[in-house]
A = this chain, B = another copy of it.
């Protein structure tokens, strides 16, 4: 059996309170006593039982992270960054995969919220509706990454990037390369990023003098498979394949889209250009190298992790944490 504080106390010939004091280094203790306790702890390989600590203090030093798909490099990269920062302060991540399913997301979220298992929650690109988000946060503040602040509540802190700007860059880029007709593969209507990216793209296209009604639009989840299928649909719908610019609103689906194009025997970058979004590390090595927009995922992870830290250590109230919009920038390569 694991040694308890009692065992240490007995071994050191002191009370359990004293042991607790040396663990937390809080009270002035005589060096001799302190040393005796330290020795006893070492000898017994003592570690405080975290469950008892948490029960008593109502703090767990754990942060729940809900992610649509940890195998998606875009998300795993954010998680890595968050872990990097939280680990330094002795926090652990409790990771849950929602598999892009809203019901799972909500179930995980509310179970976290009410069970005392974590100090706070980070939702990465949650798929639930604004209404659900709002309800979940009602009695329990948390943090949301990579999703715009489309609802007003002081109980949620949003960290995301400027998708509207990013996708206007895409339209411009196509324009500069002489593309004449356009398509967009974006996410589901329920995904705010999907709508903002589409909107930013269409608006800029109109600015540039194009008829946004002629833009072919396909929607799917931001996955390889859906990107592939959506591209097939576009290829089927298209009449005139002359300088067609396809904006795929996530790199992962862009990979699928590129495969669909290649499978048709078409060359990418001439009459059909593919533009991704997110700038996932591997995209630069694809064939052709994917032109895309950089979402500052490292910064988002850093930003949220630091705010979480401020919040759980109670240096800051949630109402003093400010949502942040980070920028986005073009990454030119060979697919456009």
Contacts and interface: CB of A to CB of B under 8 A. Distances in A.
A115 B282 CA distance: 38
A96 B2 CA distance: 23
Contact of A97 (B84, B115, B255, B259): B84
Nearest to A59: B51
A70 B80 contact: yes
Given A62-B94, A97-B84, A285-B286, A114 B70 contact: no
Contacts of A95: 79, 83, 92-95
A46 B87 CA distance: 31
A76 interface: yes
A99 B93 CA distance: 15
A50 interface: yes
Interface in A69-118: 69-71, 73, 76-77, 79-80, 83-84, 87, 92-97, 99, 111, 114-117
Contacts of A73: 71, 73, 76
A45 interface: yes
A95 B96 CA distance: 10
Contacts of A99: 84
Q: State which size class the interface on A falls in.
A: 35 or more
A52 interface: yes
A175 to B, nearest CB: 27
Contacts of A71: 73, 76-77, 79-80
B255 A114 contact: no
A56 to B, nearest CB: 9
A49 B94 contact: no
A47 interface: yes
Nearest to A297: B71
A178 interface: no
Contacts of A49: 55, 115-116
Interface in A14-58: 45-52, 54-55
Contacts of A52: 51, 55
A132 interface: no
Contact of A116 (B50, B224, B285, B287): B50
Ranked 9 nearest A-B pairs via Cβ: A287-B287, A47-B114, A51-B54, A51-B55, A71-B80, A76-B76, A95-B95, A50-B115, A49-B116
